[in-house]
Amino acid sequence: MSQCAGIKADGTRCRAQAMSGKDQCYTHDPSVAERRQRTNKRGGKSGGRGRPKVRVDEVYKLADEQIQKLSDRQVDPKRSAVMAQWGQLKIRAIETERKLVEISELEAEVEQIKKLYEQTRAAHDGDATYGTGVWSG
């Protein structure tokens, strides 16, 4: 594998490894720019590992409100208990959704790794030093 031909913002050459069959890394390759933008956009809207910040904030806010209302005797404790149960259901649904997104992304990454492995293997089929632990590159 070769070094990326891209130039960084500071004017130095990128030191990352170029993608298979290309002369640039993922960050500098214009053919993946759209995918990079989607990934970056998604990253800014999540609270980490794909969970939306807004939903978690809503749960905190609702819990704080209910605790205050219970303390001030403004809400029936039985009614509040039922609300808490529905809140737990909502939290489990959010967590399940996050896990499904994460699994889907991991499956896509595994497929990409498999393709890269097969490409690398096919490119080195005739190379006697491939797989011997000897680095010639």
> In this model, does residue 128 exceed pLDDT 80?
no
Cα→Cα distances 61→49, 54, 94, 108, 135, Å = 22, 10, 16, 35, 57
Q: What are phi and psi of 52, to 5 degrees?
A: -70, 135
Q: Give the tens place of pLDDT for each residue, 90-121.
A: 888 888 998 998 999 999 999 999 999 998 88
Run of H or E including 134: none
Distance CA 65, CA 71 (A): 10
Of 17-21, 106-110, 119-123, 127-131, the one with minimum mean pLDDT is: 127-131
Report pLDDT digits (tens) over 2-18.
888 888 888 888 988 88
Q: Is the Cα dihedral 103, 104, 106, 111 positive or negative?
A: positive
List pLDDT tens digits, range 42-95: 555 555 555 555 567 787 888 899 899 999 999 999 998 998 898 889 888 888
- pLDDT value, residue 94: 82
Is residue 41 predicted with pLDDT exceeding 60? yes
pLDDT of residue 8: 86
**The pLDDT of residue 87:** 82
List the chain domain ranges: 1-44, 48-122
